[in-house]
A and B are shown apart, each in its own frame.
Chain A
Amino acid sequence: MSLRTAPPGRQADRARTASVDRTRRIRSRRRTRTADLMIAACWASVALAVSLYLAYGGLSEVTDLASGLTAVGIVTGLVGTDLILVMLVLAARIPAIDRVVGQDVAMAFHRQLGKPALYLILAHGVLLTIGYAMTDGSNIVALTIVFFQGSDMALGYLGLGLLVAVVVTSVVAVRRRFSYEAWHLIHLLSYVAVLTALPHQLSASGVLAEGTLQRGYWIGLYVLAFGAIAVFRFAVPIVRSARHGIRVSAVEQLAPGVVSIHLSGQGLDRLQTAGGQYAIWRFWTGTTWWHAHPISFSAVPTARSARITVRDLGRGSAAVGRVRPGTRVSIEGPYGIFTDAHRVAPRMAVVAAGIGITPVRSLLEHSDLRPGEATVVLRGGDLGETYLWNEIGELPSMRGNTVFSVMGPRPRGLGTWLSAEALARGVTITSVFPALRESDLYVCGPQSWADLVIRDARAAGLPAAQIHVERFDW
């Protein structure tokens, strides 16, 4: 899509730069506005959950400690469930959310909500049991047994149990003891947990009684959350995979453990993949079909072909390297905001390490760069980590732009993203990127390494909005 006017005069060039900058500013402003609205919508939904109770006239029922506990119990249940539904929406990989804040940010928010939601739901159960017991003058154990006898309530307890299992297995320390697949399978139970909790909400709750607006809204929330999951995680990927008929056309070994997988299919350009994006791939062979892999595009897809490059970071991705040509592939995506469309500054500074070269390669391919606009630093531990490096210099957009390579191991016991040798020469982030403050910084590589690059960039005064990171921590 690069449209290059033949020898651009200095004036025309300046005008073009100004208009590109304006477009970027407008886009960036629109994105932050949408992000702010999304955040506000999240909190408003929490407030609305409380409001359901207020509108029901709940406050008038609070007269003593028992009814107070009951009221708080009802509200924690409403808010907790609302948060879980928000979590489902965040995990639904909705394109609108991905475009604005990116899946990473959405999932980070999703993880943050997990524990508060669980605590609220636990408080809901405990407070209501105590509140009811105090009102009745009966004891808590007896009341709990009575609750278990009601079928809707028993389902509610089942949902609570599942929820505890899901959150406990998701806490990082515990998660390490499970394989990703086992953890993911348990995580899917959260859908069941939320659904089993629904009957007791609709039958036992006065707030959500039949014929009330509250009930309509609440069911609407459920439909929205589960609808988003059904559409964006199931329907769209299935239709897309069927329509494009993607198959492996060749597997190219680039280095030990690193392969480029060439794909063929119909109308792949209609996926509208931006350089720097990734998709979640599933290779339909006997040993790999059950594992979906997020892998970046290493080249912008054409109508009939696409290329992705992967390094075996886990058992699953090692098996991917052994798929044969002809294997059917399904796609979910493309996703990601590591793209040219998310730039905000007039210049571009790019750092890639190891397999992080993959999205950087397609990002640069897709960027329409002026000579001198971009500076690229490629970082490799040894000669085995220089795959795709040769392609970077050959990209048409890289004409007149600089590519540095920083090779060699990091110094021991020192937190730096550079090599020992470069550090000894006095290389810093500002020496390689003299115009860093007016640049968009794109960083892609292992998480701990990328964090060090960001630390240096922030120390040099680069605003967070100008930093774009693609992490490989799956």
Chain B
Amino acid sequence: MRTRAVALSILSSAAVLAVGWQLGEQGRVQDVASAASTSTQVSAPTATPTPSSTADSGTAASGTAAASGSSAAAATATPTPSTAAGVSGTFTGAVSSTRFGDVQVSITVADGTITDVTALKLTDKEQKSVSISNRAAPVLRQEVLAAQSAQVKSVSGATYTSDAYLTSLQSALDQAGL
């Protein structure tokens, strides 16, 4: 091969790789940002605040389906809108669709604190997705309980599942007004 051909090959390849790497870095920052922000990505808000199993708390959601996964829904769902800190009950997030299947989570809130996160649906297309989901879900649950918000890092190797999980979680949080 001629020197010029070698030089051209190296230069063009390096440029292409650099651009790809740069895009990857940018994408990662955006991924984390979008997963952690608001519930604007929620595809179909099917918020159905269900009465909590511990009915004696008295502050359980009234059962009115929220029209949208916004904070307004939380206001109607909660009898005591003045202090969000006192919210209790189970709130189900919107279904978030990915190409590997739908994801939906519900949260259990006691006195304004997230006490549990339950995955109702997880990515399940193909065996591979199931195994990824099973690995990612406990990690995400732990992190959410620790952070008390959707502002957590996605699990590596399970980007789709994580993003959808956190999106659904955010919509549940919005309903709870947290």
Q: Which residues of A contact B (CB under 8 A)?
A: 32, 35-37, 39-44, 46-48, 50-63, 67, 70, 132, 135-136, 138, 143, 146, 149-150, 204, 206, 209-210
Q: List 23 A-B contacts (CB under 8 A).
A: A32-B4, A35-B5, A36-B2, A36-B4, A37-B8, A40-B8, A41-B12, A43-B12, A44-B12, A44-B16, A47-B16, A47-B20, A50-B20, A51-B19, A51-B20, A57-B24, A57-B25, A61-B157, A67-B157, A136-B131, A143-B127, A146-B127, A209-B99
Which residue of the partner chain B has the closest CB to A36? B5
Which residue of the partner chain A has the closest CB to B23? A55
How far is the CB of A100 from the nearest CB of chain B, in Å?
A: 12
Residue contact A50 to B17, C-beta cutoff 8 Å: yes
Residue contact A67 to B5, C-beta cutoff 8 Å: no
Which residue of the partner chain B has the closest CB to A210? B99
Q: Which residues of B contact A (CB under 8 A)?
A: 1-2, 4-5, 8-14, 16-17, 19-21, 23-25, 27-28, 31, 99, 126-128, 131-132, 135, 156-157, 159-160
Which residue of the partner chain B has the closest CB to A131? B157
Residue of B4, B5, B21, B156 contacting most chain A CB atoms (<10 Å): B5
Residue contact B159 to A57, C-beta cutoff 8 Å: yes
Residue contact B17 to A54, C-beta cutoff 8 Å: yes
**Distance, CA A55 to CA B17, complexed state (A):** 9
How far is the CB of B131 from the nearest CB of chain A, in Å?
A: 4
Residue contact A39 to B24, C-beta cutoff 8 Å: no
How far is the CB of B7 from the nearest CB of chain A, in Å?
A: 9
- Contact among B9, B23, B159 with A44 in the assembled complex (CB-CB below 8 Å): B9
Known: A54-B24, A55-B20. 17 other contacts (CB 8 A): A32-B2, A36-B2, A36-B4, A37-B8, A39-B1, A39-B8, A41-B12, A43-B13, A47-B14, A47-B17, A55-B24, A58-B24, A67-B157, A132-B131, A135-B132, A135-B135, A150-B127
Which residue of the partner chain A has the closest CB to B4? A36
- Contact among A39, A54, A150 with B23 in the assembled complex (CB-CB below 8 Å): A54
Given A35-B5, A54-B20, A67-B156; A150-B27 close (CB under 8 Å): no
**Distance, CA A79 to CA B1, complexed state (A):** 21
**Distance, CA A54 to CA B17, complexed state (A):** 8
How far is the CB of A215 from the nearest CB of chain B, in Å?
A: 11
Given A61-B159, A209-B99, A210-B99; A56-B24 close (CB under 8 Å): yes
Residue contact B157 to A70, C-beta cutoff 8 Å: yes
Residue contact B12 to A47, C-beta cutoff 8 Å: yes
Residues of B contacting A42 with CB < 8 Å? 9
Residues of A contacting B16 with CB < 8 Å? 44, 47-48, 51
How far is the CB of A60 from the nearest CB of chain B, in Å?
A: 5
Residue contact A40 to B24, C-beta cutoff 8 Å: no
Ranked nearest first, the 6 interchain pairs of A and B with the lowest CB-CB distance are: A51-B20, A47-B13, A54-B20, A55-B23, A40-B8, A43-B9
Residues of B contacting A50 with CB < 8 Å? 17, 20
How far is the CB of B24 from the nearest CB of chain A, in Å?
A: 4
How far is the CB of B69 from the nearest CB of chain A, in Å?
A: 23
Given A43-B12, A47-B13, A135-B131; A60-B28 close (CB under 8 Å): yes
Residue of B4, B135, B157 contacting most chain A CB atoms (<10 Å): B157
How far is the CB of A36 from the nearest CB of chain B, in Å?
A: 4
Residues of A contacting B5 with CB < 8 Å? 35-36, 39-40
Which residue of the partner chain A has the closest CB to B130? A136
Which residue of the partner chain B has the closest CB to A67? B157
Residues of A contacting B160 with CB < 8 Å? 206
Residue contact A40 to B12, C-beta cutoff 8 Å: yes
**Distance, CA A135 to CA B27, complexed state (A):** 24
Residues of A contacting B126 with CB < 8 Å? 150, 204
Residue contact B12 to A57, C-beta cutoff 8 Å: no
Given A39-B9, A60-B156; A132-B128 close (CB under 8 Å): yes
Residues of A contacting B28 with CB < 8 Å? 57, 60
Residues of B contacting A40 with CB < 8 Å? 5, 8-9, 11-12
Residues of A contacting B17 with CB < 8 Å? 47, 50-51, 54
Given A39-B1, A47-B13, A67-B156; A54-B8 close (CB under 8 Å): no
Residue contact A54 to B157, C-beta cutoff 8 Å: no
Residue contact A44 to B13, C-beta cutoff 8 Å: yes
**Distance, CA A150 to CA B129, complexed state (A):** 12
Residues of A contacting B14 with CB < 8 Å? 47
Residue contact B157 to A135, C-beta cutoff 8 Å: yes
Residues of A contacting B31 with CB < 8 Å? 57
Residues of A contacting B21 with CB < 8 Å? 51, 54-55, 59
**Distance, CA A150 to CA B125, complexed state (A):** 10
Which residue of the partner chain B has the closest CB to A204? B126
**Distance, CA A446 to CA B160, complexed state (A):** 60
**Distance, CA A67 to CA B159, complexed state (A):** 13
Residues of A contacting B13 with CB < 8 Å? 43-44, 46-47
How far is the CB of B174 from the nearest CB of chain A, in Å?
A: 26
**Distance, CA A67 to CA B135, complexed state (A):** 13
Residues of B contacting A59 with CB < 8 Å? 21, 24
Residues of B contacting A36 with CB < 8 Å? 2, 4-5, 8
Residues of B contacting A70 with CB < 8 Å? 157
Residues of A contacting B8 with CB < 8 Å? 36-37, 39-40
How far is the CB of A14 from the nearest CB of chain B, in Å?
A: 32
**Distance, CA A43 to CA B15, complexed state (A):** 12
Which residue of the partner chain A has the closest CB to B20? A51
Residue contact B20 to A52, C-beta cutoff 8 Å: yes
Residues of B contacting A135 with CB < 8 Å? 131-132, 135, 157
How far is the CB of A51 from the nearest CB of chain B, in Å?
A: 3
Residue contact A55 to B27, C-beta cutoff 8 Å: yes
